[in-house]
């Protein structure tokens, strides 16, 4: 988790959160699919080094926040900023080069390719240093190393999720957007995947994550947002959100 320090060498940043400028922020964003509005004046920020978890009922718009941050949807109004620069409406290929990675909930690896090939595919937009970064990822994630010549479709659900993280990390993003890392996994496997999310965070990658398993998701996070009907209803420290009766009753299943 974050030590709360700014990466601004001057330390002179003066954002609303203790002097830290966000690495990624959505401010007053409306967005949706076709003419169907999902996000409604939605504001979410991610500070350097943080893990932030988006929780809330089905259909609240959590995945839509990630898709809007990653350029799969353009904000209708409001701004999406990365290190203070407006990236709203940029294409995902450009956003990846900027330094934001995205791990979707499903179809996040190529099953017919080997692990190594998946990692190389993740790095097609790199200008150099691909072998070095893949070697580092093998060191960091031994399961990916052990299976490097196996087809990705032979991996278990948890292993596949770790490969999806590693694949996104080939671009050395400083922000990773992760949609429901524990979806469909047995509890023990989910615990391992949450440890891997923390390992990714330890590589100086800030993480904005959607997670249905509220206790575990918030449990590894620095802050959380409760979304409902496309807007933020509550924001706070994980322990505050989990202890709040209203949040718990209305949004977190009691």
Ligand X SMILES: Nc1ncnc2c1ncn2[C@@H]1O[C@H](COP(=O)(O)OP(=O)(O)OP(=O)(O)O)[C@@H](O)[C@H]1O
Q: Which residues contact ligand X (rule: CB under 6 A)?
A: 33, 36, 38, 56, 58-64, 210
Nearest CB to ligand X, comparing residues 67 and 223: 67
Nearest CB to ligand X, comparing residues 115 and 164: 164
Least distance between ligand X and beta carbon 13 (Å): 31
Edge to edge, what strands does the sheet with 85-86 contain?
A: 36-46, 24-33, 77-82, 85-86
d(CA 161, CA 109): 8
Least distance between ligand X and beta carbon 145 (Å): 32
Q: Which residues contact 50 (CB under 8 A, 6 or more apart)?
A: 1, 2, 206, 207, 221, 222, 223
Least distance between ligand X and beta carbon 18 (Å): 29
Q: How many CB atoms lie within 10 A of CB 249?
A: 10
Q: Are 98 and 86 in contact (CB under 8 A)?
A: no
Least distance between ligand X and beta carbon 56 (Å): 6
- Sign of the torsion angle spanned by Cα atoms 214, 216, 217, 220: positive
Nearest CB to ligand X, comparing residues 91 and 124: 91
Nearest CB to ligand X, comparing residues 40 and 145: 40
């Amino acid at each position: 988790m974050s030590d709360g320090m700014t990466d601004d060498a001057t330390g002179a940043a003066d954002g609303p959160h203790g002097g830290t400028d966000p690495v990624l922020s959505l401010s007053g964003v409306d967005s949706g699919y076709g003419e169907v509005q999902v996000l409604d004046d939605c504001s979410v920020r991610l500070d350097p080094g943080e893990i932030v978890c988006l929780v809330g009922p089905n259909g609240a718009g959590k995945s839509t926040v990630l898709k809007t941050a990653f350029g799969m949807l353009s904000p209708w109004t409001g701004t999406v900023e990365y290190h203070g620069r407006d990236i709203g409406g940029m294409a995902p290929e450009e956003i990846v080069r900027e330094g934001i990675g995205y791990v979707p909930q499903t179809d996040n690896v190529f099953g017919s390719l080997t692990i190594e090939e998946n990692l190389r595919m993740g790095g097609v937009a790199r200008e150099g240093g691909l072998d070095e970064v893949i070697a580092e990822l093998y060191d960091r994630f031994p399961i990916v190393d052990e299976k490097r010549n196996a087809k990705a479709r032979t991996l278990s659900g948890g292993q596949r999720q770790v490969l999806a993280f590693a694949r996104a990390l080939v671009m050395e993003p400083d922000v990773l957007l992760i949609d429901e890392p524990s979806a469909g996994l047995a509890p023990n496997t989910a615990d391992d995947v949450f440890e891997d999310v923390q390992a990714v965070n330890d590589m100086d990658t800030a993480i904005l994550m959607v997670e249905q398993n509220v206790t575990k998701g918030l449990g590894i996070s620095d802050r959380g947002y409760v979304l409902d009907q496309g807007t933020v209803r509550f924001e706070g420290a994980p322990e505050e959100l989990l202890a709040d009766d209203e949040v718990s009753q209305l949004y977190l299943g009691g």
